[in-house]
Amino acid sequence: MSTSPTRPAWKHDGVRVVPGDRLDANTAQTPGMDRKAAINFARVGAQKLWAGTVHIHPNAKTGAHHHGPLESVIYIVKGRARMRWGEHLEFTAEAGPGDFIYVPPFVPHQEINASPTEVLECVLVRSDGEAVAINLDIEPAEPPENVPWIDPTHPG
């Protein structure tokens, strides 16, 4: 079967499977964190998202930052994540294996490995292939306020 201008070459331009041992570490790195890209424009032609993994070393944390207009989803595979967010990082919540974290556009936040001994392993997905990270100079509020999640579609 041949391809033509009206028939795409699905064999190499269709579904892609990126083996877990073939992720690309040539991506923006933060001290204490190891990011690897699985899905992005360069690797598969993705135009509206970036997906990969991040391993956060014990006790490591990012500085305060936001990702501009991008939305982010973090899925916790192993370990314990602590997120702080707000104008002064005044809010906090923790997540463990099987939990999802959603970070809306422009929200100042900080990712923290809550464990002093265990690596935090996560899958990260962003709503654009562009690596947007705007660092912020924020004096964190202490202590932060713990904020439990309330499901707006099924309030209890």
CATH of the domain at 138: 2.60.120.10
* Nearest alpha carbon to residue 112 among 132, 138, 89, 131: 89
Looking at residue 143, what is its pLDDT?
Answer: 95
Residue 31 has a pLDDT of 79
- Whether residue 154 lies inside any domain: the answer is no
pLDDT at 4 (0 to 100): 62
**What local confidence, expressed as pLDDT, does residue 130 receive?**
78
CA atoms of 77 and 90, how far apart (whole Å): 26
Q: What is the domain count for the chain?
A: 1
pLDDT reported for residue 118: 97
Long-range contacts at 97-101 (CB < 8 A, ≥ 24 apart): 99/75, 100/73, 100/74, 100/75, 100/76, 101/73, 101/74, 101/75, 101/76
Q: Considering the entire predicted model, what is its pTM?
A: 0.88
pLDDT at 27: 84
Mean pLDDT, 10 residues at a time, the chain of 156 residues: 67 90 87 90 92 95 93 97 97 98 97 96 92 89 94 83
- Asked if 114 and 59 touch (Cβ cutoff 8 Å), the reply is no
- 61's tokens: 């944390």
Supply the pLDDT for residue 5. 67
- Segments forming the whole domain that contains residue 102: 35-146
Residue 125 domain flag: yes
Task: Indicate whether 54 belongs to any domain.
Answer: yes
Q: Of 99, 100, 101, nearest to 91 (Cα)?
A: 101
> Structure tokens of 87?
């104008």
Is 115 a domain residue?
A: yes
Task: Tell me, yes or no, whether 29 lies in a domain.
Answer: no
